[in-house]
Amino acid sequence: MSEPPAPSAPPQDFIRAIVEEDNRTGKHGGRVATRFPPEPNGYLHIGHAKSICLNFGIARQYGGTCNLRFDDTNPTKEDVEYVDAIQEDIRWLGFDWADRLYYASDYFERLYELAEQLVREGNAYVCDLTADEVREHRGTLTEPGKESPYRRRSAEESLDLLRRMRAGEFPDGSRTLRAKIDMASPNLNMRDPVIYRILHAEHHRTGDAWCLYPMYDYAHPLSDMIEGITHSICTLEFEDHRPFYDWVLDALRTPCHPQQIEFARLNLNYTVMSKRKLLELVREGVVSGWDDPRMPTICGLRRRGYTPEAIRDFCDRIGVAKRDSTVDIALLEHCLREDLNRRARRAMAVLRPLRLVIESYPENLVEDIEVPNNPEDPAAGIRRVPFSRTLWIERDDFRETPPPKYWRLFPGNEVRLRSAYLVTCTGVVRDPGTGEVVEVRAAHDPATRGGNAPDGRRVKSTIHWVSAAHAVEAEARLYEHLFAAEDPDAASEGGDWKSSIHPGSLEILRGCKVEHLLAGARPGDRFQFERLGYFCADPDGRPGAPVFNRTATLKDSWAKIEKKQRG
């Protein structure tokens, strides 16, 4: 919880400082070329959004380019479903790779040629150790590794074996191609890392053309080099891999040598972010899919009602640091509320309805009440909402016996019906069987049309309402954090990270009564339901039977945290 929000000034960080210095010295001829390199093995999440904003943001800021490159070197976990979804999500976030969409698999032939060059020049060898043996030979942080007995194989023999590996002569796992570096290196990544493995598997793009696949650590620097990337920005866990990144490019004397720069990944509380875990939640049906509104995925946030502007603002505010930390999800919600408060149209919706009958109001009269669409934005105009004798109000806005400081409806008390009239509670109707209050009766003051008394008398509360005859039935889905624990991994203490899943994280309310204009809400339309929170129409809704996801409540816990921090 250590990253304070910065004002929305142009972000300045250590990576942009490097880029500016490089531009000043002409290191890359003044060029700035970045890339966003997702592996198509899952949907993008809010952590990826940080990387997207950074890579595309830097390119935009310095007049450079940012490529989208699918790092598809692992055929067994990848899928075109993910390839399509990733592109949709990046576009939705507001970024564009123009015609620079690439796949690491497009470079397989070139990567293989370079591997042959490494072998010919004595920088790589074919090793016949099994994966377990390679691991045993690797040593530990305190002990040097042991050289493979195949390390001294001649270049000719390795080259011949490599070609036969490619030709499919050997089974999976029987041989690997390894870089010849230093088995005593203090950096385990430099102890003759495997750069090719045999895998007889269908690839989603290259089909069965290959049974030999490059390792990520080998493919990545070369893909960057082929694309002429200048700044290869990645997360901190790759810091120890940087020496190998540089070794590959140096060993092959490539004409272009991108600079790898690491930054701290985004961690958020009350959620998990690894794609493996998110996939598990989907597969086990803990959530309804990758786009379940409780997921930290981009498509989940979108379905929940998040705006791209709010997510970009969040990414600007958390900044880019070199040390890992966890960001409070309240900050993300704060960015969302700020944006929606400015832009979301107001509407009246009653989630837990209770009937209110205005006994003094004529039976068949319907008046159009003018209500502002957004008090924050006069340009949003006004709308007309029908008012009649029988209304729906929130069950919680009435108490027969009011607790202290309760100023809403109770017998004898006067309240304002938003923009309509002042009404005084005159009594209740009970269910004869259960004694439960099923209807509240009231009298209105006809002189208070619009909601204000000409004699200046004041009421302490304003409640919202929907005319019963005009109301549209809707479903509302209310969400809480998917995990009850702030850090689900720590909470499980070596046990199951799913142990803190919050079973009450979704509450479905049917039979909600909403303003008639909401009947035509289209999926993705966002509203502020007066006094209740921000809601977004869900694709599960049908015309006349809308479904709304609660995007966020109105209460802003981050604003409170901020205030406390300021003293």
Task: Catalogue the active-site residues.
Answer: 39, 265, 275
What's 381-435 look like in SS3?
CEEEEEECCEEEEEHHHECCCCCCCCCCECCCCEEEECCCCEEEEEEEEECCCCC
Least separation in angstroms between CB 136 and ligand ATP: 27
Least separation in angstroms between CB 203 and ligand ATP: 17
Q: Which is nearer to ligand ATP, 39 or 280 (CB)?
A: 39
Q: Which is nearer to ligand ATP, 37 or 546 (CB)?
A: 37
| Structure-block tokens of residue 108 | 């397989």
| Structure-block tokens of residue 255 | 């004409």
Residue 528 amino acid letter: Q
| Structure-block tokens of residue 63 | 């007049």
Least separation in angstroms between CB 485 and ligand ATP: 19
Least separation in angstroms between CB 126 and ligand ATP: 28
Q: Which is nearer to ligand ATP, 233 or 532 (CB)?
A: 233
Cβ contact 361:391 at 8 Å? no
Least separation in angstroms between CB 51 and ligand ATP: 4
Q: Which is nearer to ligand ATP, 266 or 351 (CB)?
A: 266
3-class DSSP assignment, residue 196: strand
Q: Which is nearer to ligand ATP, 177 or 261 (CB)?
A: 261
Residue 176 amino acid letter: T
| Structure-block tokens of residue 425 | 């509670």
Residue 343 amino acid letter: R
- DSSP result, 40-99: SSS--BHHHHHHHHHHHHHHHHTT-EEEEEE----GGG--HHHHHHHHHHHHHHT---TT
Least separation in angstroms between CB 50 and ligand ATP: 4
Q: Classify residue 280 as exposed, middle or buried by CB count within 10 Å of its CB (0-12, 13-18, 19+).
A: middle
Q: Which is nearer to ligand ATP, 55 or 307 (CB)?
A: 55
Q: Which is nearer to ligand ATP, 47 or 145 (CB)?
A: 47
Dist. CA 423–CA 212, nearest whole Å: 78
| Structure-block tokens of residue 458 | 């004041």
Which run of H or E residues covers position 197?
strand 194-198
Dist. CA 81–CA 102, nearest whole Å: 16
Least separation in angstroms between CB 191 and ligand ATP: 23
Tally Cβ neighbours within 10 Å of residue 17.
Answer: 10
Cβ contact 214:195 at 8 Å? yes
Q: Which is nearer to ligand ATP, 301 or 532 (CB)?
A: 301
Dist. CA 534–CA 525, nearest whole Å: 11
Least separation in angstroms between CB 305 and ligand ATP: 22
Dist. CA 373–CA 383, nearest whole Å: 6
Cα dihedral across residues 267, 269, 272, 273: positive or negative = negative
Task: Describe the crossing of helices 46-61 and 308-318 by its angle, rounded to 10 degrees.
Answer: 80
Exposure string for 531-548, b = 16+ CB within 10 A, e = fewer: ebbbbbbbeebeeeebbb
Residue closest to ligand ATP, measured at CB: 47
Pairing of strands 212-214, 194-198: antiparallel
Question: Applying CB under 6 A, which residues contact ligand ATP?
Answer: 37-39, 47-48, 50-51, 234-235, 265-266, 273-275
Pairing of strands 353-358, 547-552: unpaired
Tally Cβ neighbours within 10 Å of residue 179.
Answer: 25
Q: Which is nearer to ligand ATP, 48 or 464 (CB)?
A: 48
Cβ contact 471:392 at 8 Å? yes
